[in-house]
Structure 1
Amino acid sequence: MRCLERGFVVWLTGLPASGKSTIAQLAAARVREVGVRAEVLDGDWARSTISTDVGFSRDDRRRHLLRVAWVTRLLARNGVAVFAAFVSPYRDVRAEVRRIVEEEVPFFEVYVKVSLGEAVRRDPKGLYRRALAGEVKNFTGVDDPYEEPESPDLVLVNEGVPVEVSVGRLLGFLADLGVLPKF
């Protein structure tokens, strides 16, 4: 594996169950196939490691995501392609994350878009069902808002298309920008 001369951060945001982590994992695997170091960070990883002490209040989510921002920046400045998959529901916090990362490396906000109905239908962890029943509080898309990005670098509509299509669009976007080789 080789490090890129300059790494970058792809920040995938969207509703829970929109497919962010799946896209990140598949994209990172394809990047590794061409010999480039790639890492995937997602909410499950972060909340079980660097953010075990935070909940889901607005302030806790901000602290959680700023920690992740610093980790992604560190990895990327050392030549790693970083795919960060986080709901990150608030525009102002995503802007803060972008400012932290872009001080040293390229940052690309990618909105993984699905309807709330599709996210509820997928619901791999049963969290929407529990939130709709009132068992889970502050759940994004149910009783806490998701603020759609106003001008993301890329929108991946991940509903009604195979996930491989979304991954291909993401990798094509990065190759067109010259941060990755053509796939």
Structure 2
Amino acid sequence: MATVTELKSALKEALEARGALAQLKARIRAEVFNALDDKSEPRPPLPRENLLINELIREYLEFNKYRYTASVLSAESGQPEVPLDRQFIANELNVVEDASASSVPLLYGLLSHFLSSGEKGGKVFLKSSGASEPMDRAVRPVGEARRPGVPETHPAGKSGAEPFVLQGGYR
């Protein structure tokens, strides 16, 4: 007859082999977070850049079936329950997709674009988005009115630059 320790070990190995143990742990973490989350405390406004970044990450997580991680991201960040429209996000990022690119998350296309531009020897110049600067100079949270005397910032992808085209072939 098997000992309790042997049974525990066999059960753990069986759950790990099927991938169920990781899912159970993620589900428990998500449920604990939801139970501890104080819904009565108002969340700070979600800046536009964070909204777009979170949505890119959520699309990636759901595509890869990391549903519990996606649910924790949504709950913790204050991201809207209903995902943003993919075409809206692409427009905000000034991205044009070909037909094959639309079958995978936008994040894959963005990564592929920058990896392939790096193969040509070029470097991409990144500058601060203003997200860490004082609120008067940063991108306004979604829905917040423009403050008098504060210069208008250009939303992501609306600077007049040419859109880049995302092509498939990265999965």
What TM-score, normalized to structure 2?
0.24
Quick check: which one's helix share is greater? Answer: 2
Higher relative contact order (CA 8 A, sep 6+): 1
Quick check: which one's strand share is greater? Answer: 1
Larger radius of gyration: 2
